[in-house]
Amino acid sequence: MEQFSVETRHRCQLIPITSEIRRIVRQSQVKEGICVVFCPHTTAGLTINENADPDVAKDLVYLLEKIVPANDPNYRHLEGNTAAHMQASLLGSSVHLIISDGELKLGTWQGVYFAEFDGPRIRKVYVQIIS
């Protein structure tokens, strides 16, 4: 298992992490297998989406903030980050990627994103390669 850190700068943001995952896959020298990427945080998550236009990531953050607003007076969680927990649950904490010929099998426009909902922070990402 490998691990890397992601430093976030905003309360909510998506950060591309595909290049770091690709590096780990190449170093593993696994030619055929599965790459599991896991986020061990309850107020952050992972997603796969378009990586060609950065506005897609911004639009996703906008929509998640609209669906789950940060300050709803009906939230009961005392820490004040209920929205972050809910947004992270909507995206999920892991993605699974196919490795073929030693490379990630992503679509032409796909990239993996770390999704921060309670930043800024320094976060961990775990990567497990299964051959």
Predicted pLDDT of residue 124:
98
* Alpha carbons 83 and 89: distance in angstroms, whole number: 10
CATH homologous superfamily of 2-130 equals YjbQ-like (2.60.120.460)
Predicted pLDDT of residue 78:
80
Q: Are 45 and 39 a contacting pair, CB within 8 Å?
A: yes
Predicted pLDDT of residue 7:
98
70 φ, ψ (degrees, to nearest 5) = -65, -40
Low-confidence ranges of the chain (pLDDT < 50): none
Q: For the whole prediction, is pTM greater than 0.85? A: yes
Predicted pLDDT of residue 58:
96
Predicted pLDDT of residue 80:
87
